[in-house]
Amino acid sequence: MSTALSLEEHWGEDLSKIPGLANAVESAILQIEEAGMENALKKLFHLSTT
């Protein structure tokens, strides 16, 4: 994840230098893989999943 976040030519800066960002992105990707995009977003925004 840090490799993708460090692509300054893509992001305009090295995002891997932001504390905790790589872990947050990895966690979000796992949530999407496990629960699907819709449910992951609902959880992120504290919305009902029913």
pLDDT confidence band for 13 (50 / 70 / 90): very high
pTM: 0.75
* pLDDT for the residue numbered 22: 95
- Per-residue burial over 31-42, b if 16 or more Cβ lie within 10 Å, else e, is beeeeeeeebee
pLDDT tens string 16-43 = 999 999 999 999 999 999 999 999 999 9
What is the secondary structure of 18-31 as a DSSP string? STTHHHHHHHHHHH
